Homo-oligomer: A and B are copies of this chain.
């Protein structure tokens, strides 16, 4: 069997590929991203290519593909700035993959990373399984459209889908990307790495959060869940604890050498103010998905991944 991972060079994707490679079994792991992800791992085959090229997207679904983890996307800020590119990556490329599955006729499990960006317009706090999605950014719109299509492709038997609405995932390593939620990682990562950080939102700004470890665990769980357990509605909201910028910085501070200051950016602040502050999913719990227990747990998990040289 082949397991496909798109966005495999990303924060979540690369952690997922490492987790898949560490599991026993004969499955080949096809890891794809714009640049060839440089995994030196058994059974992992790297494939470089552009998912917005429909031919490339279509070529990724081979007759023996049993699981698709579709993680590739242009993140929130990027999709807001470049509507056409966001549409091509976040919407059209997903459709190309779904169509490829339909035409291949083998009904793979299709795990899709959606986002709490589907909520907007001042949703309840916490957001629950019953909260209607009302996206107020293009990224959230594109994710919601793909969830909706994935449900129908599943109902028709073209794929066996599961969309996970991910809370803000931290701690993301490396340089900031264009995600509007990039601050939740940077406010931890930068001062711990000894760099000062100017946070673009107010200290009281809150967002639903989850650790990278829990997300990888959730993706693997989503791949293993039975179709019967999932039922007709294939979108699962993951529980994300509420974390304010202040709380994240307070938890990071004992381990930090850099400092944090706050200079709110009106555009980012507006999205955060009318977005999702916390999520609580009884359904995710029933299905066996686990959430992060506390901000401190998330920071502790991150510290354990750092080499002493960082």
Binding site for B on A (CB under 8 A): 83, 102, 121, 130, 132-136, 138, 141, 144-145, 148-149, 151-152, 155-156, 232-233
Contact = CB atoms under 8 A, between A and B. Distances in A.
Contacts of A232: 121, 134, 136
A267 to B, nearest CB: 13
A135 B148 contact: yes
Contacts of A130: 132
Contact of A152 (B121, B135, B148): B135
Contact of A148 (B83, B144, B155): B144
Contacts of A156: 83, 138
Contacts of A233: 121, 134
Nearest to A144: B148
B155 A149 contact: no
A148 B133 CA distance: 10
Instruction: Give the 3 A-B CB pairs with smallest separation, nearest first.
Output: A141-B152, A132-B132, A145-B145
Contact of A155 (B132, B136, B151): B136
A138 B152 contact: yes
Nearest to A92: B95
A48 B136 CA distance: 37
A295 B237 CA distance: 41
A268 B152 CA distance: 17
A151 B121 CA distance: 12
Contacts of A83: 102, 156
A83 to B, nearest CB: 7
A85 to B, nearest CB: 14
A12 to B, nearest CB: 24
A256 B83 CA distance: 55
A191 to B, nearest CB: 35
Given A130-B132, A132-B130, A156-B138, A148 B151 contact: no
A106 B121 CA distance: 26
Nearest to A158: B83
Contacts of A145: 145, 148-149
A59 B43 CA distance: 50
Contact of A141 (B102, B141, B149): B149
Contacts of A121: 232-233
A152 B145 CA distance: 11
24 contacts: A83-B102, A83-B156, A121-B232, A121-B233, A132-B132, A132-B133, A134-B232, A134-B233, A135-B148, A135-B151, A135-B152, A136-B155, A136-B232, A138-B152, A138-B156, A141-B148, A141-B149, A141-B151, A141-B152, A144-B148, A145-B145, A145-B148, A145-B149, A148-B148
